[in-house]
């Protein structure tokens, strides 16, 4: 074997000067090189790897040809490193360490398996969490995710679900409870409705419009109506009442009337627009609830961490404590448009 083009300078300078554009096809050559160095000879390395010595010599020759450097010289008592080879050893060791790290991450993902149950409000479940759960499940293919969307809080204490997300304050004392964000709600309507009936700007003007309200265990829209319009019967003023968020959104987006929706709906759907009426912005905390014993299971712990990240106010500012008007919300997150991230709103109406 012979040196391949070293014209002076230190081995490191030579490598940096002439080998910066190298793209290794795979890790195999570096792995074989390390094994030969550790065993001191092709024969000893061949016994360890259970291949022939000639096979290893060809592997090393191909590796040297690929990087354009002679790494080893053969002697009667084994092999010796060239100056360049000594430098490559440390690099190959880092490659080996990285390969082991990748293997550990893969094994960890495979180890996360079994069934995990997530209870969540129907609106957040359908329009926010479900689109993201697809990618989460791809990262952990051994999981079976049972997502239970309901407008009443799931009974985590009795292990009806492993993890619960709710917008009413939890009361159970034997559970882990964490505030993970805040939901801000304001009036919305379809442009078709506003073109036909005009845009109300005050509570008095709103009293002359058709309303769409949602009534459920965790949504107090009916109580809000009685507070805003105490002397006005709902018949003739309220066009629709529904108990689930998907139907509620669909009715508003199809021009049936004015109704309350989360502020992030304006970023994710082109079929609705916010309406500014002083005093009609309402906020509710979003709570994560889980049992401490269940959180010891790796699959449940991984879901809990993922849920917390999915409501991060830094990543998704509409979940911050302070109210941010939809017109001030970003149109993209880290270079990805929000409509591309959450297509469920408008796809729901197709």
CATH of the domain at 100: 1.10.10.10
The string of pLDDT tens digits covering residues 10-28 is 444 444 444 444 455 557 8
CB 160 within 8 A of CB 119: yes
Long-range (24+ apart) CB contacts under 8 A made by 20-27 are 22/66, 22/67, 22/68, 24/66, 24/67, 25/66, 27/95, 27/99
Together in a domain, 173 and 196:
yes
- Domain end, chosen from 77, 110, 143, is at 110
What mean pLDDT is reported for the chain? 82
pLDDT at 49: 84
Long-range (24+ apart) CB contacts under 8 A made by 10-19 are 11/82, 11/83, 11/84, 11/86, 11/87, 12/87, 14/84, 15/69, 15/84, 15/87, 15/88, 18/68, 19/67, 19/68, 19/69
CATH number assigned to the domain comprising residue 350: 3.40.190.290
pTM: 0.64
CA distance 303 to 308: 9
Q: What is the mean pLDDT of residues 334-344?
A: 45
Q: What is the mean pLDDT of residues 296-306?
A: 91
CA distance 44 to 52: 10
pLDDT at 226: 79
Q: What is the mean pLDDT of residues 63-80?
A: 85
DSSP state of 136: H
Write b or e for each residue in 155-165: b if 16 or more Cβ atoms lie within 10 A of its Cβ, otherwise e: ebeeeebbbbb
pLDDT at 263: 92
DSSP state of 255: T
Q: What is the mean pLDDT of residues 226-231?
A: 84
Q: Is residue 99 domain-resident?
A: yes
The string of pLDDT tens digits covering residues 134-178 is 989 998 999 999 998 877 766 665 667 889 898 888 777 778 899
Residue ranges making up the domain that contains 59? 11-110
Q: Is residue 288 domain-resident?
A: yes
CB 83 within 8 A of CB 13: no
CB 260 within 8 A of CB 282: yes
Q: Pick the closest to residue 116 from 292, 287, 301 (CA basis).
A: 301
Cα distances from 247 to residues 59, 214, 243, 272, 350, in angstroms, run 64, 9, 8, 14, 14
Could you tell me which residues come within 8 angstroms of residue 348 by beta carbon, excluding any fewer than 6 positions away? 126, 127, 246, 249, 250
CA distance 93 to 302: 31
- Domain end, chosen from 75, 110, 145, is at 110
Together in a domain, 216 and 283:
yes
What is the number of structural domains in the chain? 2
pLDDT at 17: 42
- Domain end, chosen from 51, 83, 110, is at 110
CB 191 within 8 A of CB 269: no
């Amino acid at each position: 074997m012979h040196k391949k083009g070293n014209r002076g300078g230190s081995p490191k300078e030579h490598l940096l000067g002439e080998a910066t554009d190298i793209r290794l096809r795979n890790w195999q050559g570096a792995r074989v090189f390390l094994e030969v160095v550790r065993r001191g000879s092709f024969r000893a390395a061949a016994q360890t790897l259970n291949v022939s010595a000639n096979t290893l010599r060809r592997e090393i020759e191909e590796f040297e040809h690929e990087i354009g450097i002679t790494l080893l010289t053969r002697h009667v008592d084994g092999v010796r490193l060239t100056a360049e080879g000594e430098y490559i050893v440390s690099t190959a060791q880092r490659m080996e360490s990285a390969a082991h790290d990748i293997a550990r991450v893969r094994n960890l993902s495979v180890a996360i398996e079994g069934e995990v149950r997530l209870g969540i409000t129907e609106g957040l479940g359908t329009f926010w969490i479900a689109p993201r759960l697809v990618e989460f499940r791809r990262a952990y293919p051994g999981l079976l995710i049972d997502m239970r969307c309901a407008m009443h809080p799931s009974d985590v204490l009795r292990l009806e679900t492993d993890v619960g997300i709710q917008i009413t304050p939890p009361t159970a004392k034997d559970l882990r409870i964490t505030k993970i964000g805040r939901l801000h709600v304001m009036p919305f309507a379809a442009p078709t409705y506003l073109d036909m009936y005009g845009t109300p700007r005050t509570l008095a003007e709103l009293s002359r419009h058709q309303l769409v309200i949602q009534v459920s265990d965790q949504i107090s829209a009916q109580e809000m109506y009685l507070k805003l319009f105490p002397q006005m019967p709902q018949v003739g003023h309220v066009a629709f009442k529904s108990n689930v968020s998907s139907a509620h959104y669909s009715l508003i987006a199809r021009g049936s009337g004015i109704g309350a929706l989360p502020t992030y709906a304006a970023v994710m759907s082109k079929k609705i627009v916010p309406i500014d009426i002083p005093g009609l912005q309402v906020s509710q905390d979003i709570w994560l609830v889980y049992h401490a014993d269940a959180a010891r299971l790796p699959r449940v712990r991984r879901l809990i961490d993922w849920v917390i990240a999915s409501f991060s106010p830094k990543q998704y500012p509409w979940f911050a404590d302070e109210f941010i008007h939809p017109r001030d919300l970003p149109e993209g997150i880290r270079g990805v448009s929000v409509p591309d991230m959450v297509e469920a709103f408008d796809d729901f109406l197709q």
